[in-house]
Structure 1
């Protein structure tokens, strides 16, 4: 007996996907996963060497046409425009945008004014404004795709917060609001916009935290009693981009081992 009983595809083969912040952590895991599943991946991040390393790793496994590297500071509108133009020239269009690039800078009510203002402005530009800009620039191509997908990476810091990270928490909450607004507006154009909220994940951002402190936190706060792996987040991102996820729109999905639902 052969054939299928279902109709919707769970394949992203041949899709062209932009992943920002793709040179490390969750972004790199996402780029690798999409490439493994047959997508053509545009690796966007700061630093030529870091970008080249990820592109080379993908090409060694999946061939020269599987990845393109574009060095991009997402806080710079002209560089985002160049990213979209390079992607379309290389891939012929854009099917997926993963807004993953993000930074975490100190943002305390007690900081000196200059430091607070500088960190606030940079965090807003990278973590929130860049998401809106890239989506708007890519929108004509996402609409032409017929099944455009946008996934914004927020954080559980939008749900439960840490003292001293006001700008980070505010931008991640903003990402959820941005996701919902664009989801409502773009649904009629065949583009879905969703959001992933990672919890405690082993990335460069959490690397400075002492291992014992991580273990203690996980035991106390995470029902699964551990930090997550970047690839576990990447799989949720991929799921939201599948053709089969065509009726999922405007959601914010925590990937946090149950941390955000634990009361004590």
Structure 2
């Protein structure tokens, strides 16, 4: 522990992620892109993982233009494929010589309800759980040997307020996001003695590509009616909470599910 008198500071815990090796899935757009940018801005070395080489390369180029070639590395990855996740970890370790932080951000939202025909329901249900839930635990398992060698290992799972509330027609999405919250608690208990913190963020209505399908006036009306802060959130506002949970100073926070929703989940009417 640093001697505060030698630095002019009264506090002793670090709020810096400089040099940390961070893997972000779903990092080519929305909250994942904002998270990759923020960690790079704070001095971390970021692995940008997502579908589509062009999309991944674009985010890597954005980061490298500001912070240099050593700040980011891209991996094209379908998180629903275990072999892709294993390769993601291998490439991340080869590039960064280790992993300190895993951010399970990749997710999909597809229509899935009980009145679909059987084949469509089974396909969308399996895809929703595969991307939104199973991929999370697989990536943690593959990264675990490397997290155990970190002096400040962190896992952050991005779920949704749909983990605690629900809309019709998204059964697989709601079930998978509730599963992420439960998985977070389980992993936090299991990995706590190894010093690995595992936390979960529940984003509410956020301005991302996933919400662009709604008209601006519809979103404004919804926010005024349902959100105490009366607006949609920004992707960076979710990223900032993710960063906070990954600070060395946040080593006593684990198993938490934290809403970033403008107060959506606390408003009764």
**TM-score, structure 2 normalization:** 0.97
Give the CA deviation at 1:254: 0.1
Structure 1 segments (4+ residues) deviating >6 Å: none
For 1:80 and 1:224, how far apart are their aligned partners in 2? 38
Q: Within 5 Å, which residues of 2 pair with 1:182-261? A: 182-261=187-266
Q: Within 5 Å, which residues of 2 pair with 1:79-158? A: 79-158=84-163
For 1:164 and 1:131, how far apart are their aligned partners in 2? 23
For 1:167 and 1:118, how far apart are their aligned partners in 2? 10
For 2:90 and 2:8, how far apart are their aligned partners in 1? 40
Q: Is the 8 A contact 1:15 1:95 kept in 2?
A: yes
For 2:122 and 2:112, how far apart are their aligned partners in 1? 9
For 2:8 and 2:19, how far apart are their aligned partners in 1? 22
Q: Is the 8 A contact 1:142 1:148 kept in 2?
A: yes
Partner SS for 2:22:
strand
2:166 to 136, 143, 161: 161
1:262 to 260, 264, 267: 267
1:70 to 69, 75, 78: 75
Give the CA deviation at 1:260: 0.3
2:55 to 39, 50, 54: 50
Give the CA deviation at 1:210: 1.2
2:177 to 146, 168, 172: 172
Q: Is the 8 A contact 1:59 1:65 kept in 2?
A: yes
2:43 to 18, 29, 38: 38
Task: Kindly report the root-mean-square deviation, in angstroms, between the aligned alpha carbons of the 2 structures.
Answer: 0.8
Paired positions, count: 264
For 1:226 and 1:143, how far apart are their aligned partners in 2? 40
Give a deviation string over 1:65-122, Cα, whole Å, max 9, x none. Answer: 0000000000000110000000000101000000000000111111111111000001
Runs of 5+ consecutive residues of structure 1 not aligned to the other structure:
none
Give the CA deviation at 1:4: 0.5
Q: Is the 8 A contact 1:146 1:191 kept in 2?
A: no
Partner SS for 1:19:
strand
Give the CA deviation at 1:146: 2.2
**TM-score, structure 1 normalization:** 0.99
